[in-house]
Amino acid sequence: MQNDYKRLRTSFEQAASLYQQARPEYPEALFDEFIRVTKLQPGDRLLEVGCATGKATIPLAKRGFQITCIEIGAELAAEARHNLAGDDVDIVTGSFEDWQSEAEPKFDVVFAATSWKWVDPAVRYTKAWQVLRPDGHLVFWNADHVFPEDGDPFFRDIQAVYNELGEGKPVDDNEWTRPGELEDQSEEIEKSGLFEVVHVRHFDWERSYPAEAYIRLLQTFSGHILMEERKRDKLFNEIRVRLQKRSDQSVRRHWGAVLHVARRKQS
């Protein structure tokens, strides 16, 4: 099980050249809320856990914050350095669990965008607490696939292909999470004893993908990266065939995110 986790966690290296282009942008409103709740000011110091190629780093760097990023993938870190050249950002290659901060004073915010789940649960809250200043904040969110009532039927239809390949998920309405129903991790945060949840908000947005753009997106997901090549080729070919039959030759994918903001407790 641990080996599977490690394979999944490091698989994104194989998609380093695609990640920045293929992955969706996060809503501007999410960053506005992030900054409003944490009361950040230009020049404040942020630590990002798992920056990948800088999808969340770039918007925050442009707003004038000093950012240190910890990225376990060397190729992803190299892409991030290229994308953030000229910004006040330092990118360190390594794992958050092993990283040791030499910075004083400590950080105003530790944040993670679609990466917090890849940090060891036994370590992540303790490590974030240790590197934050008193009353600093921990902020994290994921970008997940959600399925509104009027969403694109493509995803349910294509499950037959995944099932045929032995890569399907159980046919259960609970597996088709609607907007606003993504997991709220407040209980986990509070259980750490180190943070007090001060804000939780759901965001959702939609993007339309032509066939090749959608395939590039899938190529940045760990499950598809690690799929057997013959299965992946068959799946991608079927996606092309199905979308070519549509008048707009594209698919609508709905995204959701739950922004969690927690304040560091005193020791």
pLDDT tens-digit profile of 83-140? 999 999 999 999 999 999 876 779 999 999 999 999 999 999 999 999 999 999 999 9
| Residue 18: both structure tokens together | 């695609």
Q: Specify whether the backbone of 171 is left (phi greater than 0), alpha (psi in -120 to 50) or beta.
A: beta
Domain ranges in the chain are 2-147+178-208+254-264
CA distance 121 to 82: 30
CB 76 within 8 A of CB 52: yes
Spans of the chain, pLDDT less than 70:
1-10, 103, 170-174
What is the percent of the chain with per-residue pLDDT over 70, rounded to a whole number?
94
| Beta-ladder partners of 200 | 260
CA distance 67 to 109: 10
- The radius of gyration of the chain from alpha carbons, rounded to an integer in Å, stands at 19
Signed CA dihedral, 49, 95, 14, 9: sign only: negative
Give per-residue pLDDT as tens, 228-242.
Answer: 999 999 999 999 999
| Beta-ladder partners of 214 | none
Q: Give pTM, 2 decimals.
A: 0.93
| Residue 249: both structure tokens together | 């030759």
228: exposed, middle or buried (Cβ count in 10 Å: 0-12, 13-18, 19+)? exposed
What DSSP character marks residue 85? Answer: T
CATH of domain 2-147+178-208+254-264: 3.40.50.150
